[in-house]
Amino acid sequence: MAALIHDITRTQVEDFLYEEAALLDEWRLQEWLDLLTEDATYEVPSTDTPDGDARTTLFIIADNIERIRSRVHQLLGKSAWAENPPSRTRRLISNVRIREVEGDTIRVTANFAVYRMRFELVDTYVGRYEYTLVFRNGVLKIRQRRAILDLEALRPHGKVSIIL
């Protein structure tokens, strides 16, 4: 890994995102939490307001770090029925682009297709990620993570019960 944020290459960012995707697909959610900063946010805007602000617009998910930790705790527990038994997921991440580097933060966008398989049905979530990553002690961490769906509605998916 580079010593300075300005030396980070796209390949390093891709490796980071692929590693994150693997942790999520393998349900290693506690380890996934370690990728987040203490002030991290995770958002999924409503499908008709992809550029909304969660303070003024109704979202699907707008978690602060406490809410993210609670979500993970629930998903790993028994009573998140929509994920008990857990679904299988497979994330394809591509078109990774470094959009801006400023101070210790780096803004990254990427495209995603997340397949969720459960009870012999497949739901495909398609969209783009907007990440704000920070570079701390030679390690990348996620400060903001927004999954913006290209779907016009959550149909026939009906829910976002996994971490997109």
Partner 1 sequence: MEQAALDNLVLDNREAGLFRVHRSAFTEPRIMALEQRRVFEQCWLYAGHTSEIPQPGDFRSRRVAGRPVILVHGSDGVIRVLLNTCTHRGAQVCRESCGNAKTFQCFYHAWTFNNQGELVGVPGEDAYSAAFDRAALGLASPPRVEIYRDFIFISFNPDIEGLVDYLAGAKEYLDLVCDQSEAGMEIVTGTQAYSMRANWKLLVENSMDGYHARTTHQRYFEFLVETGVDASIMRRRRGGVGKSLGNGHAVIQSEPAFGRPIARWTPSFGEEKRGELEAIYQQMVERFGAEWAYQMTQTSRNLLIFPNLIINDIMAITVRTFFPVAPDYIEINAWALAPKDESAENRALRLDNFLTFLGPGGFATPDDVEALESCQQGFANREVEWSDISRGMKRAQPLVDDELQMRAFWRQWHALMRGSQRAAVPVHQAVAD
For partner 1, the binding residues (CB under 8 A) are: 44-49, 52, 54-62, 66-67, 70-71, 74, 77, 79-83, 119, 152-161
Answer for the pair 131, 36: CB distance below 8 angstroms, yes or no.
no
* Smallest separation, CB 1 to partner 1 (Å): 33
Q: Which one, of 119, 108, 141, lies nearest residue 38 by Cα? A: 141
What is the smallest separation between the CB atom of 114 and partner 1, expressed in angstroms? 14
- Alpha-carbon distance of 150 to 147, in angstroms, equals 10
Residue closer to partner 1, measured from CB, 2 or 121? 121
Q: Between 70 and 95, name the residue whose CB sits nearer to partner 1.
A: 70
Of 38 and 120, CB closest to partner 1: 120
Pick the closest to residue 32 from 75, 62, 2, 61 (CA basis).
75
As measured in angstroms, the least distance from the Cβ of 158 to partner 1 is 5
Measured torsion, CA atoms of residues 83, 86, 90, 91, in degrees rounded to the nearest 10 = 40
Q: Compute the least distance from the CB of residue 44 to partner 1, in Å.
A: 6
Sign of torsion over alpha carbons 76, 54, 50, 93: negative
CA distances from residue 128 to 112, 114, 132, 147, 160 in whole angstroms, order as listed: 6, 11, 13, 6, 15
Nearer to partner 1, 50 or 136 (CB): 50
Q: Which is nearer to partner 1, 46 or 105 (CB)?
A: 46
Shortest gap between Cβ of 91 and partner 1 (angstroms)? 17
Token digits of residue 162: 């996994």
